[in-house]
Amino acid sequence: MDFAIPLEHTEHNLIAALARQERWAQQQLYEQHYGKMMGVCLRYAGSRDEALDLLHEGFIKVFQNIDRYKPGTSIAAWIRTVMVNTCIDYYRKTIRRRTEDINEANYLSADDPDALSHLTEQEILAAVHELSPAYRAVFNLYVVEGYSHREIADALQITESTSRSNLVKARIKLKEHFLARRIHFEGRDMEA
């Protein structure tokens, strides 16, 4: 007599088990989405430890609010939204907001679209981590998540002009970082 034991539970069964707060379901969901969601949190956090805290806080929210998930939609997209919102909430709680004048940013420009094509993901992530929390949050929300400046302003409780200014300044800081790095490496090549 042969018995077939399904190795993976269907999404419907998984969601039902999550609603009942069953540990196996929580562990399975966590393990399935850990990598991508950690990547999301790393972009917003100042350190790996901070990202891990955000990740865990985000998964707690996922488990507590699983009843808000709409079956038939992408569970990964829903979890990602929860993670981004967790990062935004963290930003709101811990970062002192400064109002920056957009006129100051009008003098600045960062239009080198090919600058990142020769860098690894780790190099880019390390440079983004060096940004101030305000610049990092706006950069991630605008460039990575695709939020508009109005949406960013609402989410972070800042003005749209501050969002624009912070984005321009974040891009400038990143450009300066990569230019300095390039000059450093070109100088080493010339010495060799």
Domains of the chain, with CATH numbers? 11-94 (1.10.1740.10), 102-191 (1.10.10.10)
Q: In whole angstroms, what is the distance from residue 31 CA to residue 172 CA?
A: 37
Under DSSP, is residue 114 helix (H, G, I), strand (E, B) or coil? coil
Q: In whole angstroms, what is the distance from residue 119 CA to residue 177 CA?
A: 12
Q: In whole angstroms, what is the distance from residue 147 CA to residue 84 CA?
A: 11
The pLDDT tens digits along the chain (192 residues) read 554 445 445 888 989 999 999 999 999 999 999 999 999 999 998 889 999 999 999 999 999 999 999 988 899 999 999 999 999 988 888 765 443 444 444 444 444 445 556 677 788 888 888 899 999 999 999 988 899 999 999 999 899 999 999 999 999 988 888 887 766 555 554 454
Query: How many residues does the structure list for the chain?
Result: 192
CB of 36 within 8 A of CB of 83? no
Structure tokens at 184: 């450093």
φ, ψ dihedrals at 2, nearest 5°:
-100, 140
Q: In whole angstroms, what is the distance from residue 109 CA to residue 172 CA?
A: 7
Q: At what angle do helices 48-64 and 23-44 cross, to 10 degrees?
A: 140
CA distances from 164 to 38, 44, 93 (A): 27, 18, 21
Ramachandran bin of 94, using left for φ above 0, alpha for ψ from -120 to 50, beta for the remaining angles: alpha
